[in-house]
């Protein structure tokens, strides 16, 4: 009776221990994280040992009529399936060595020798153990079969996804060069020209931006009213404007962080730099200046004149080094 009453706590601690092993082994590259599952089990047993059991004990008290019955079933399925699929996912991750590592022997990692059939059998044993630890009422017993089928399907899907990810890690045909990886996509370029904005920026918009000074000022964000923020496109009302408007008008891949996949991204940003160069060279301009300078507070670190800007695709630089690029290239025309 004591074992049956504590079945949920034991299951929860078991799953947490396996997830601790998974995180340490697959994400932190620890070869044999022996103490990770021990620490997880100790912490969880002391703090959350009866959390899932308490949640399930509250389910019969939910009374919302017909919809209350549906809610109870969905909550029960979710809790049960999460327990089984989490353990199956951890097993699938352990069953294959990480890319570039030496496969563990059966004596050091028995799970490394398990086949897909072994993993399925393990999930079946988990489901059986789960049922053995529960005291089901007649109406719950009647609904157990659908629960069991759903849990079995979810466990298989999780294991298949984990196996696919591990296989992709070991794929030696993939190019390590990050630039080349950016070129490898499994679909065409997406655009939705003009669907989210009526028109592109006009010459009048550009001339208005060129007439603004200073370059930037406090609070150094989208609420600033200088040249930089206007050229970015945050100051137009209604917005967006200038640089931002090009992204929105092109749409598709130009909207989220995938925007560098579209060649228009580079045309847009090169033109922004050209307009900045025109602003620095116009009569009465402050010249090649950048703000905030080094006297700005440390909270602006990464945005000040001599702060280092790091890139995954190129070397590090500072805004000061980018103020005069004439040694690298010049524009054919600064007419805007």
Distance CA 49, CA 14 (A): 11
Q: Is the pLDDT of residue 65 over 50?
A: no
Q: Is the pLDDT of residue 236 over 60?
A: yes
Q: What pLDDT does residue 61 have?
A: 43
Q: What pLDDT does residue 183 have?
A: 61
Q: What pLDDT does residue 74 have?
A: 47
Q: What pLDDT does residue 215 have?
A: 95
Residues 6+ apart with CB under 8 A from 196: 248, 249, 251, 255
Q: What pLDDT does residue 35 have?
A: 59
Question: Peptide bond preceding 33: is omega within 30 degrees of 0, i.e. cis?
Answer: no
pLDDT category of residue 263 using cuts at 50, 70 and 90: very high
Residue 227 or 23, more confident = 227
As a whole number of angstroms, the longest Cα–Cα distance in the chain is 89
pLDDT digits (tens, 9 = 90+) for 136-164: 788 778 777 877 787 787 777 777 777 77
Neighbour count for residue 173 (Cβ, 10 Å): 4
Q: What pLDDT does residue 11 have?
A: 67
pLDDT digits (tens, 9 = 90+) for 281-317: 999 889 999 999 999 999 999 999 999 988 777 778 9
pLDDT, mean over the chain: 74
Residue 80 or 325, more confident = 325
Residue 123 or 12, more confident = 123
Residue 6 or 72, more confident = 6
* 90-109 per-residue burial string, b: 16 or more CB within 10 A, e: under 16: bbbbbbbbbeeeeebeeeeb
Could you identify the residue written with the tokens 């025309």? 333
- pLDDT (mean) for 41-64: 47
What percent of the chain has pLDDT above 90? 33
Q: What pLDDT does residue 246 have?
A: 96
pLDDT digits (tens, 9 = 90+) for 89-123: 454 444 444 444 444 444 444 444 566 677 777 77
Residues 6+ apart with CB under 8 A from 218: 224
Q: What pLDDT does residue 172 have?
A: 62
Q: Is the pLDDT of residue 212 over 50?
A: yes
Q: What pLDDT does residue 230 have?
A: 94
Distance CA 318, CA 330 (A): 20
Q: Is the pLDDT of residue 70 over 60?
A: no
Q: What pLDDT does residue 103 have?
A: 45
- pLDDT (mean) for 251-257: 90
Lowest mean pLDDT among 31-35, 263-267, 296-300: 31-35
Q: Is the pLDDT of residue 54 over 50?
A: no
pLDDT category of residue 27 using cuts at 50, 70 and 90: low
């Amino acid at each position: 009776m004591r074992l049956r009453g504590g079945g949920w706590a034991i299951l929860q601690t078991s799953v947490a221990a396996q997830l601790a092993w998974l995180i340490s082994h697959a994400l932190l590259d620890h070869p044999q994280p022996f103490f990770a599952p021990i620490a997880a089990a100790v912490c969880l047993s002391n703090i959350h040992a009866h959390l899932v059991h308490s949640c399930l004990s509250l389910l019969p008290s939910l009374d919302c009529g017909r919809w209350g019955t549906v809610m109870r079933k969905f909550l029960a399925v979710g809790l049960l399936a999460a327990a089984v699929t989490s353990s199956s996912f951890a097993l699938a991750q352990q069953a294959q060595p990480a890319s570039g590592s030496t496969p563990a022997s059966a004596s050091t990692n028995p799970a490394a020798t398990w086949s897909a059939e072994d993993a399925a059998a393990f999930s079946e044993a988990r489901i059986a153990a789960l049922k053995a630890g529960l005291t089901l009422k007649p109406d719950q017993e009647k609904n157990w079969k659908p629960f069991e089928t759903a849990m079995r399907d979810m466990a298989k899907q999780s294991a298949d996804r984990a196996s696919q990810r591990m296989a992709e890690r070991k794929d030696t045909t993939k190019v390590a060069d990050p630039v080349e990886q950016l070129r490898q996509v499994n679909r065409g370029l997406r655009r939705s020209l003009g669907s989210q904005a009526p028109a592109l920026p006009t010459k009048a918009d550009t001339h208005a931006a060129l007439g603004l000074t200073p370059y930037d000022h406090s609070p150094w964000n989208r609420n600033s009213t200088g040249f930089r923020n206007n050229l970015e496109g945050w100051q137009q009302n209604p917005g967006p404007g200038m640089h931002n408007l090009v992204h929105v008008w092109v749409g598709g891949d130009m909207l989220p962080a995938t925007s560098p996949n579209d060649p228009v991204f580079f045309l847009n940003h090169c033109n922004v730099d050209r307009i900045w160069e025109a602003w620095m060279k116009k009569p009465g301009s402050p010249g090649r200046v950048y703000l905030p300078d080094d006297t700005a507070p440390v909270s602006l670190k990464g945005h000040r004149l001599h702060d280092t800007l790091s890139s995954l695709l190129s070397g590090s630089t500072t805004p000061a080094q980018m103020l005069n690029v004439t040694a690298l290239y010049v524009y054919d025309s600064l007419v805007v």
